[in-house]
Structure 1
């Protein structure tokens, strides 16, 4: 499946999503690797099989295997971290913030791709998963390393479009 085929599955009421899905990758603020890696990580975080297949298929034209693997790794590690750190952040018991997580996170230190790209993909997944603590941490890291706020906004824009497309497709599949 391709993104064009995916757009064909979107109903008329989601016309804005079709249009956004067509243009969201064309940004001067992100490299193709950053944009397409964001799309892959966000698709995996969406958990919608058709969206994952379409995004990964089209991303293959824009990503080297190491970058595709890095985007998948960002989705994997943040799937765990977002739950853990969202709990730490939202719990009324503040002692958890002082306790070691005791979770393996080696991929963050050596993701096999540019660290900034991995941080951007982690930020996108954190936005999809709604972890404020992780959003704050990854946004801080990329801005500290010189990434523009416009680039951060584009990453979140991609994540939001991918997630919305996944929600609509899931909804339509449930109604079929």
Structure 2
């Protein structure tokens, strides 16, 4: 067995996937004996822990990111991981809801930002956002998940608004940075494993 096949199998085992699983992308990396497979493995592993986030928070950010990216394999993995870290069904549901709500918000506010027309800022959004009022994960953490999803979706206005809100709540920049780092790595892994 080649080293790249061993690394591929280690990645699959860590995710709880059968060793026969392959996507076209994964096959290309494995057949080409790409050193990137080792990076992929280490990057995936680094989404599970943080010096500034609890393991449950890492798992919920990973879950929300995987759902946002419509990635079935990583959604299943991060759901299991979140549950193992003590996340309740209400918390995993909230990570799911966050991804869905931010998908609409990010499109809507990106549109407002892109057009820069005052008229669009005066028209009510009419997007229901009650989940943000009393989140079961807490206001600060919901903002953190919202920021991570907004970063994935590329909404500059949303990223700035959530980051500003978090700073005003007393959230450290290291905590914010790690949330976005996890979201970026989950998104990256989802290009290979889905």
1:95-114 equivalent positions in 2, closer than 5 A: 95-114=119-138
Q: Does the 8 Å CA contact 2:59/2:82 hold for their aligned counterparts? A: yes
- Quick check: 62-71 or 129-138, which moved more? 62-71
Aligned length: 170
Considering Cα pairs closer than 8 Å and 6+ residues apart, tell me whether 1 or 2 has the greater RCO: 1
Larger Cα Rg: Structure 1 or Structure 2?
A: 2
Runs of 5+ unmatched residues, structure 2: 1-11
Q: Which runs of 4+ in 1 moved over 6 A?
A: none
TM-score, length-scaled by structure 1: 0.87
Question: Cα RMSD (Å) of the superposition?
Answer: 2.1
Task: For 1:165 and 1:3, locate their aligned partners in 2 and report how far apart those are by CA, in whole Å.
Answer: 13
Give 1:37 deviation, angstroms.
1.3
Equivalent residue, structure 1, for 2:46: 23
TM-score, length-scaled by structure 2: 0.79
**Structure 1, residues 114-164: CA drift from partner, whole Å, max 9, x if none?**
111111111111111111111111111111111110000100000000000
The answer to whether structure 1 residue 80 and structure 2 residue 91 are counterparts is: no
Give 1:94 deviation, angstroms.
3.4
Q: Which has the higher helix share?
A: 1
Q: Does the 8 Å CA contact 1:2/1:57 hold for their aligned counterparts? A: no
Equivalent residue, structure 2, for 1:69: 93
Equivalent residue, structure 2, for 1:154: 178
Task: For 1:128 and 1:14, locate their aligned partners in 2 and report how far apart those are by CA, in whole Å.
Answer: 22
Equivalent residue, structure 2, for 1:4: 15
Equivalent residue, structure 2, for 1:121: 145
